[in-house]
Chain A
Amino acid sequence: MKRRHLLASAAAGLALAFAGAAQAQMDKVKACFVYVGPIGDGGWTYQHHQGALDVQKAFGDKVEIAWQESVPEGADAERVMTQMALSGCNIIFATSFGYMDAVNAVAAKFPNVKFEHATGFKREHPNVSTYNARFYEGRAVQGTIAGRMTKTNKIGYIASYPIPEVIMGINSYFLHARKVNPDVELSVVWAFTWFDPAKEADAARALIDQGVDVIASHTDSTAPLAEAAKTGGKVIGFGQASDMAEYKPTPRVSSIIDNWGPYYVKRVGALLDGTYEQADAWEGIAGGEVLIGEITEAVPPEVKAEAEAMRDAIAAGTYHPFTGPINKQDGTPWLAEGEVAPDGDLLGMDFYIEGIKGEIPR
């Protein structure tokens, strides 16, 4: 036990010494990735892994990548990251919201290892950066399609956990569906999981049984699309996190694609050439982090054009999905006419906007 302890601290010491000397420039970087699901989920984790592979491709021999899949949020994540830091990782990407406290706890112990936390907001130490993508921009495009395409005027959303990230998506989706179709009603089902294909399929089925005919999902697998496919074209949905092109042209009529590669390449590159700084990155469609997957022929051309115009306006910066007037669910005003939602409001979002029924679980 003692010897192991000694070795561990020696390794940490060495890592410290090396990192200290190489602060300006590094010859070789070991980039490590912590995944919440399996790479084969076809969604969230798959896309992060594509980003990791992009890093390898961009830098070749100068970068070594390592990863661990299906790491539960909580104490296990802390152990995994500690192990990674001890084994010589220079930069660790923690790719789920629930790793937040673990990232900051481990970062305190390894000041020379860089930590990057996806979708979080806590940066308690100088070596912790956060990065996120403006998925709500993609939800605005989906909402537009949903509002135009629904025949029953009932649209659905399979939500994972009640965190700002998810609530933002629900609000944006509903807001833009209502904008083009004032009769639209939204049903939200909370699955309380990021990844459980059977449960996601059940949630989709429950929505379909309730008469919903457009389903957006905020969980990681393709199961909701598979369930929608069983209805023979009556119900449509969207690819989530990944393009999910195998369900084209219907039920998957479009998708939000997370494109982490450019950010990962930029950050690892900065570490290599010594320009790395703590950051709080939040790019969207304009920055290329959020891509809108092809809108298929199942969508009428005029709806497609409308959705693409929305996408282009967001990319050009001429339209912000949360532009007033918008009221909160209880009718109190949130944004005044023409006012654009400040990032702080979005990142802490804990309320539905006016028109959504039901309550957010606490």
Chain B
Amino acid sequence: MLFGTIDPVTLVAALIVASVPILLAATGELVVEKAGVLNLGVEGMMITGAIGGFIIAVATGSPAMGFLGGAIAGALLSLIFAFLTQFLLTNQVATGLALTLFGLGLSSLLGQGYNGIKPPATHPLPFGPLADLPVLGPILFGHDLLVYLSVALVAGTAWVMGRTRLGLIIRAVGENHDAAHSLGYKVVRVRVLCILFGGAMAGLGGAYLSLVRVPQWTDGITAGAGWIALAIVVFASWRPWRVLLGAWLFGGISVLQLNLQAAGSAIPVEYLSMSPYLVTILVLVVMSSGRGRAAVNAPASLGQGFHASQ
């Protein structure tokens, strides 16, 4: 009776949906950090995207416009961070934390009057008979567009970062901004664009929360998802496919522990509740104990400001 009567198929289907917001936000943050910028404002950008997307979706009646609006709202907020850290050279850690606090407050303000409203429904993509396949149907063909888009974005990010000239430039800027600058790359411009990408991805993740996952607006809806996204980037040692793995692992264990409880498992609830965090810590320890810092793979210029005069 260890696992009760849990159906693994519904479980996998549920975990894929549950991990979309952190997957999107973490993929965005990965690109930001690869460019050498540490933006701790993921939570703030996510929640701004959540309310931005919600407002747009309610106003236009279209979930697609809502997702777009969420991405734009997240990117707009990240623009503040980009301006402060890249042009005024403020401390990235402090600015990122401030961005989170600002985003939480701003979303609460914008959200006045949106409590209790239902957003337009987002439907699963029509795969026709494919969706009725046993096992594969619910897992692969039962989701909405954003689920597939999020995986596609991970694949796209992996390809760009690993196989293209653009990815090389971003990585060069993140590893050694002085060298990149001396080669003639516009360090600040690259970083600003990466920050905007990160903001848009976080905003998209937030919009998925308020439009699909929960679907409604309540203050503080992200409830710490942004911090988990940040942890997953480190967990994944800055590799896109590992971000996917980390998000699914974390989302999977979170969903699994609730399912175990609902199924009346014999494992005490305390262990189940702490398991997602425990596994995250465990993997972090295992990964960083391997081959020293190289295994951890952190961009060498992470968190350092850059100015051409330096």
Q: Which residues of A are at the interface with B, using a C-beta cutoff of 8 A?
A: 37-42, 46, 69-70, 156, 187-193, 195-199, 201-203, 205-207, 209-210, 212, 221-223, 226, 229, 244-246, 357-359, 361-362
| Pairwise interchain contact B259-A223, C-beta atoms closer than 8 A | no
Nearest CB of chain B from residue A298's CB, rounded to whole Å? 17
| Pairwise interchain contact B261-A190, C-beta atoms closer than 8 A | yes
Closest to A246 in B: B116
Closest to B117 in A: A246
B263 contacts the other chain (Cβ, under 8 Å)?
yes
B164 contacts the other chain (Cβ, under 8 Å)?
no
Contact of B258 among A41, A203, A221 (CB under 8 A): A203
| Pairwise interchain contact B259-A209, C-beta atoms closer than 8 A | yes
B21 contacts the other chain (Cβ, under 8 Å)?
yes
Across the interface, which residues of A come within 8 angstroms of B5, CB to CB? 210
Across the interface, which residues of B come within 8 angstroms of A202, CB to CB? 14, 18, 254-255, 258
Contact of B264 among A39, A42, A70, A358 (CB under 8 A): A358
Name the prevailing secondary structure of the A interface residues: mixed
B216 contacts the other chain (Cβ, under 8 Å)?
yes
Q: A187-B262, A203-B262, A206-B261 are in contact. List 19 more A-B contacts (CB 8 A).
A: A37-B219, A38-B218, A39-B219, A40-B111, A40-B217, A41-B220, A69-B219, A189-B261, A190-B269, A192-B273, A195-B220, A199-B223, A203-B258, A209-B11, A222-B216, A222-B218, A226-B215, A246-B116, A246-B117
Contact of A41 among B21, B112, B215, B218 (CB under 8 A): B218
Across the interface, which residues of A come within 8 angstroms of B224, CB to CB? 196
| Pairwise interchain contact B219-A41, C-beta atoms closer than 8 A | yes
Known: A40-B108, A42-B115, A189-B262. A361 touches B219 (CB 8 A): no
Nearest CB of chain B from residue A241's CB, rounded to whole Å? 13
> How many A-B residue pairs lie within 8 Å, measured between CB atoms?
120
Across the interface, which residues of A come within 8 angstroms of B213, CB to CB? 198, 201
Q: Please report the C-alpha to C-alpha distance between residue A202 and residue B112 in the assembled complex, in whole angstroms.
A: 25
Chain B, interface size category, equals 35 or more
Contact of A357 among B111, B264, B269 (CB under 8 A): B264
| Pairwise interchain contact A359-B268, C-beta atoms closer than 8 A | yes
Contact of A42 among B116, B261, B263, B273 (CB under 8 A): B116
| Pairwise interchain contact B218-A198, C-beta atoms closer than 8 A | no
Known: A190-B273, A209-B7, A361-B269. A156 touches B220 (CB 8 A): no
| Pairwise interchain contact B116-A37, C-beta atoms closer than 8 A | no
Contact of B218 among A223, A245, A358 (CB under 8 A): A223
Closest to A245 in B: B116
| Pairwise interchain contact A199-B118, C-beta atoms closer than 8 A | no
A-B contact pairs, 28 of them (CB 8 A): A37-B220, A41-B218, A41-B220, A42-B218, A70-B219, A187-B263, A188-B261, A189-B258, A195-B223, A196-B224, A197-B221, A197-B223, A198-B21, A198-B223, A199-B223, A202-B254, A205-B255, A206-B261, A207-B262, A209-B6, A209-B11, A209-B14, A210-B263, A212-B262, A226-B215, A245-B116, A246-B117, A361-B273
Q: Please report the C-alpha to C-alpha distance between residue A275 and residue B18 in the assembled complex, in whole angstroms.
A: 53
- Most chain B CB within 10 A, of A156, A188, A190, A193, is at A190
Across the interface, which residues of A come within 8 angstroms of B220, CB to CB? 37-38, 41, 70, 195
Across the interface, which residues of B come within 8 angstroms of A206, CB to CB? 14, 255, 258-259, 261-262
Contact of A223 among B116, B216, B258, B263 (CB under 8 A): B216
| Pairwise interchain contact B219-A226, C-beta atoms closer than 8 A | no
Q: Please report the C-alpha to C-alpha distance between residue A199 and residue B217 in the assembled complex, in whole angstroms.
A: 14
Contact of B219 among A38, A245, A357, A359 (CB under 8 A): A38
- Most chain B CB within 10 A, of A201, A209, A212, is at A209
| Pairwise interchain contact B218-A40, C-beta atoms closer than 8 A | yes
| Pairwise interchain contact B14-A40, C-beta atoms closer than 8 A | no
B294 contacts the other chain (Cβ, under 8 Å)?
no
Known: A209-B7, A209-B10, A222-B116. A198 touches B214 (CB 8 A): yes
Nearest 9 A-B pairs (CB), nearest first?
A38-B219, A40-B219, A206-B258, A361-B269, A196-B223, A246-B116, A206-B259, A206-B262, A210-B262
Q: Please report the C-alpha to C-alpha distance between residue A181 and residue B234 in the assembled complex, in whole angstroms.
A: 51
Nearest CB of chain B from residue A361's CB, rounded to whole Å? 4
Bitwise, B234-270 to A at CB < 8 A (1) or not (0) is: 0000000000000000000011001101111000111
Q: Please report the C-alpha to C-alpha distance between residue A156 and residue B224 in the assembled complex, in whole angstroms.
A: 26
Closest to A212 in B: B262
Nearest CB of chain B from residue A254's CB, rounded to whole Å? 17
| Pairwise interchain contact A361-B223, C-beta atoms closer than 8 A | no
Q: Please report the C-alpha to C-alpha distance between residue A361 and residue B265 in the assembled complex, in whole angstroms.
A: 13
Q: Please report the C-alpha to C-alpha distance between residue A212 and residue B214 in the assembled complex, in whole angstroms.
A: 19
- Most chain A CB within 10 A, of B21, B223, B258, is at B258
Q: Please report the C-alpha to C-alpha distance between residue A361 and residue B272 in the assembled complex, in whole angstroms.
A: 11
Across the interface, which residues of A come within 8 angstroms of B21, CB to CB? 198
Bitwise, B108-129 to A at CB < 8 A (1) or not (0) is: 1001100111100000000000
Q: Please report the C-alpha to C-alpha distance between residue A40 and residue B215 in the assembled complex, in whole angstroms.
A: 15
B68 contacts the other chain (Cβ, under 8 Å)?
no
Across the interface, which residues of A come within 8 angstroms of B116, CB to CB? 42, 222, 244-246
Across the interface, which residues of A come within 8 angstroms of B268, CB to CB? 359, 361
Q: Please report the C-alpha to C-alpha distance between residue A317 and residue B130 in the assembled complex, in whole angstroms.
A: 58
Nearest CB of chain A from residue B120's CB, rounded to whole Å? 13
Closest to B222 in A: A198
Closest to A359 in B: B268
B209 contacts the other chain (Cβ, under 8 Å)?
yes
User: Which positions 1-32 of chain B face chain A at CB distance < 8 Å?
Assistant: 5-7, 10-11, 14, 18, 21
